[in-house]
Amino acid sequence: MFRKLKKSYKGLDAKQGKDLHVRFGVMNEGQFMGIAYNNAEVETSSIEDLLAKLPKDSFSVQFMSINHEVPPHVDNGINTVINIYTKTGGYTTTFHKAKEGATKHRLPNQDSGYVCQFHEVDNLESFIAEDGDAYILNVAELHSVHSGSSQKREALCINTTLKFDEVIELLGDAVS
């Protein structure tokens, strides 16, 4: 489901770029509420310890921003992500198992992922990241992001179609 990396990236200078790649959520009074992925403005040498262990052309680096809870979902088009949290906002990431009979909804811009309602899932494992923490997540499994606050959560994301276990093996002793 998820594994934490040993190294802290606290103070990583990563910012949201201007180019929006994709977003999932709703408009509320003219403001987008949900999760968005933009290009990342980051000096790649600061994350070279991770990038060097992954096969070239097997990943993309994006900047994630969340300003509202994200319901249980399976990500679209990727299997694994390494999130380096720059601003956690008190959010909890929870992995789930769909209950029998759960409806798997597809958003208009999803072709491989899906979304479930909170009442249609059972909670499995969860974590609350701190600024600078890096986690490997199996986003091919049902997971959600939620918080009781309106703060933002931001992370530098290394997305890949590699399987979760492959990424764990490639990163080796960097994983807790």
Could you tell me the CATH number of the domain that includes residue 110?
2.60.120
pLDDT category at 105 given cuts 50, 70, 90 is confident
Are 119 and 83 contacting, i.e. CB atoms less than 8 angstroms apart? no
User: Is the pTM of the predicted complex or chain greater than 0.75?
Assistant: yes
Q: What's the whole-number average pLDDT of the chain?
A: 91
Higher pLDDT, 146 or 138: 138
Are 107 and 139 contacting, i.e. CB atoms less than 8 angstroms apart? no
Question: Residue 33: is its pLDDT beyond 80?
Answer: yes
Question: Residue 93: is its pLDDT beyond 80?
Answer: yes
Beta bridge partners of 95: 143
Domain that holds residue 79: 2-174
Counting the structural domains of the chain, the total is: 1
Instruction: Return the sign of the alpha-carbon dihedral for residues 123, 8, 75, 52.
Output: negative
Rounded mean pLDDT of 152-169? 95
pLDDT tens for 48-89 read 999 999 998 999 999 999 988 889 999 888 999 999 999 998
Question: Residue 150: is its pLDDT beyond 80?
Answer: no
Of 91, 88, 95, 137, nearest in space to 116 by CA:
95
DSSP for the chain reads: -EEEBSS--TT--EEEEEEEEEEEEEEETTEEEEEEEEEEEE-GGGGHHHHTTSPTTSEEEEEEEE-S-EEEEE-SS-SEEEEEEEE-TT-EEEEEEEPTT---B--TT-SS-EE--GGGEEEEEEE---TT-EEEEETTS-EEEE-SS---EEEEEEEESS-HHHHHHHHGGGB-
